[in-house]
Chain A
Amino acid sequence: MINMMEVQGLTFTYSGAPEPSLNNIMLPIEKNKVTALIGPSGCGKSTLLRAMNRIHDLYPGHHYEGAINLLNSDEQAYTDILGLKKEAEMIRLRQRVGMIFQKPTPFPMTVAENIAYGLRLTGVKKRIEVQEVIEKSLKDAALWNEVKNRLNDDARGLSGGQQQRLCIARAIALKPEVILFDEPTSALDPISTLAIEEMISVLREKYSICIVTHNMQQAARISDYTGFMYLGEMIEFDQTDTIFMKPSVKQTEDYISGRFG
Chain B
Amino acid sequence: MAHIPNEILQAMVDHAMDDLPNEACGMILIGRSDRQMTVHRVTNTAASPYRYEMSPLEMMKLEQKRDSENLDLFAIYHSHVASAAYPSPTDVRMAFFPPGETDNEPMFPETYYVLVSLENNKPDVRAFHIKKYGEISEESIESEN
Determine if chain A interacts with chain B: no
Q: Residues of B with Cβ closer than 8 Å to A?
A: none
Q: Residues of A with Cβ closer than 8 Å to B?
A: none
